[in-house]
Amino acid sequence: RPNQLDFWSVVHILNIKNLRRPTSLRRHRKNNAQPPPPVLPKAPAQTRLYIRLSGPYYGPPPVRLLHRHRSLWLRPPKDPKGFRRFVDDAIERSGELVAYISGMPSSAEIIRAMDEISNTVCSVIDSAELCRQTHPDREFVEEAIKASIRVNEYLHYLNTNHTLYNAVIKAEQEGNLLTDEAHRVAHYLRLDFERSGIHLSAEKVDRVNRLSIEISQLCRQFNQNIVNDPGTVDIFPASLIPRNLHHLLKPIYRSTSVVSKDSWRPGDTTNEKGFVRKMAYIKGNSVPHANLGVLDQLVASRHELAQIMGYRSYAEFTVKPNMASSPEVVMSFLLEMSKMVKPSADERKCDQQYGDLEPWDEAYYTAMMKYSAYDLDSSVVASYFPLPQCIKGLKVLVESLFGATFHSIPLAPGESWHPDVLKMSLHHPEEGDLGYLYLDLYSRKGKYPGCAHFAIKGGRMVSETEYQLPVVALVCNFSASHNSSTARLNHWELETLFHEFGHALHSLLSRTDYQHFSGTRVALDLAEAPSNLFEYYSWDYRVLKTFAKHYSTESMQGARKMFAATELQRQIFYAVIDQTFFGEQPTPPTSSIVADLKRQYTSWKHVDGTHWEARFNHLLNYGAGYYSYLYANVLPQQIWQKLCQEDPLSLTTGTALRTKFLQHGGAKEPSHLLSGLVGVGS
């Protein structure tokens, strides 16, 4: 995610158009299974339901499904079956709301009740997903999977419910909604129903539902295969491996590593160590082999789904609602950037002084050259960034920008899923609590292998005086050093932490009336803008000096730019792979596509027998959307230059970021957000 190149030379091809982001009930198309749709619970005869709305009081409040800010699944480990009750309650409550909507109340009540259905169902799915990815107790994980399957089955029923669809059309067409956000919710709810195939024949709707279930099962299997078969490197003697690379003897979750200067010396590059690098590279990029078949099936199923829905490809189906608007715009953007960076990437590879390098040598010699040029020892760099100090830095950043503070708060009995989990509240002196953040930052067996932000609950207005606070979890996989219980981060890990924290703040600072647009529920190619912006903070010396003592960014900035073209080329390659897989004419096997495109879009050759795409889980929930990492980099660059660069820690800067951008979530058109933040025409 390099930011130093001139992205503005290709901005003219972006062709930014109005947001068409469907972020409704159907956003949870994952984690489904084959059972038939459940029967909708019916309200008792002659029973009138009342909904608490933001606005006039419409009668006695109903019994609410969620009473606390923490998710219902966070119960003592003795009760994993609590998920079943959670699902039962959610389906029962949603059924009552469907029955209420069928009576065609006012437009405002229809939209509010629809949003509560979404909130109810998503609370189950989001909590179950976090549990599935992080909980060490297998019984909890299994119950979370079952809960997710049941609720997603119910979602398929809701998304093809003509009563709800007709009610939403009524609300949109009557024009009696009181706010722009309510109008926007109604509009996108209608589009979401239509993107779920509600306008199709019964036969096609049935096929769409079956394909959605199949796709969700494939995505779940893909992730499970990564956990079950992470790959191992069995090398003896261990002395052949530098001490700081001994973790390669354990299951490999990433193909990158922190390399100390002891392993950078040209004199130490023996054939044996080259052999170790080769084995680690090939093994790390060859498992799980079972995912090749899963990926081919996923591509075929998504392609069929898109064609039934009337699109030429799954890429068109995915991109059309976003700012980019079409796969042609995306590919034009990627091709232009590829042409821009290829000469520099080729020159940097050919300029290396160590002969004809193989792909498994890239990380090793890149680190060596950075150390040689900038005297940069990443083991020393890591000593500047112990994880507790990094968390302190995030707290300082939030207090400086937004005048809010993170406070550690005790976890209730059974609320935590692991002893490493921490909980914090985000508190503003005038506004009170803004939201809650769980931190689960250390690696462990069976845990989600990367870093991610999980939105457990979105913010929304419950009444004129009550706001449902957002709840999020920041999950990472940092490893404690061999002589300490504390993780020490290299700078890439620090940048990743800041990136995910940007997502978390987007959720926590959101103040939308409807959870439908809360936080990161925005256009896919806008969602990465806040996270990419916060990466800039991880490089700014004025920020780093608040928590990383004796740290200088001069050498790191130089090293960052040294191979920027190569890294950008890699990201372009990933995005092209994604667009090609889900393009108009996907041609499995996908492994042959990868080999051809790597030769075309990178300066490194493909290694026969490797298939890194079997671990590339961005293809699941970012299918045809990986380009957004690059696309969304343009906006943060301009925000930083116009708003943050002069004084990145000022309250004025933070107030502008919050009030003109972050708090609106997806409730405003991106063009309005951009013009309000960085000026008309930007």
Active site residues: 500
The radius of gyration computed from the CA coordinates of the chain, to the nearest angstrom, equals: 25
Contact 153, 32 (CB under 8 A): yes
Best CA proximity match to 295, nearest among 498, 587, 682: 587
Query: Could you tell me whether strands 422-428 and 467-468 are parallel, antiparallel, or unpaired per DSSP bridges?
Result: unpaired
* 3-class SS letters over 478-538: ECECCCCCCEECCHHHHHHHHHHHHHHHHHHCCCCCCHHHCCCCCCHHHHHHHHHHHHHHC
- Residue in the structure block whose two tokens are 């230059």: 641
Best CA proximity match to 469, nearest among 439, 500, 425, 419: 425
| CA distance to 129, 170, 570, per residue, from 295 (Å) | 21, 41, 21
Please name the residues in contact with 638: beta carbons below 8 A apart, sequence gap of 6 or more: 678, 682
Under the phi-then-psi rule, with left for phi > 0, alpha for psi from -120 to 50, and beta for the rest, what region is 369?
alpha
Which class for 670: exposed (0-12), middle (13-18), buried (19 or more C-beta within 10 A)? buried
| CA distance to 10, 335, 337, 342, per residue, from 569 (Å) | 15, 11, 8, 7
Supply φ then ψ for residue 103, to 5 degrees.
-80, 0
Q: Which residues pair with 423 in a beta bridge?
A: 438
- Residue in the structure block whose two tokens are 């199949």: 214
Which class for 426: exposed (0-12), middle (13-18), buried (19 or more C-beta within 10 A)? buried
Here the tokens at position 247 are: 């973790």
Under the phi-then-psi rule, with left for phi > 0, alpha for psi from -120 to 50, and beta for the rest, what region is 59?
left
Measured CA to CA, the distance from residue 413 to residue 426 in angstroms comes to: 21
Here the tokens at position 319 are: 């991109």
Measured CA to CA, the distance from residue 366 to residue 372 in angstroms comes to: 10
Give me the helices (H) in 175-289, please: 180-195, 202-228, 271-284
- Residue in the structure block whose two tokens are 């306008």: 199
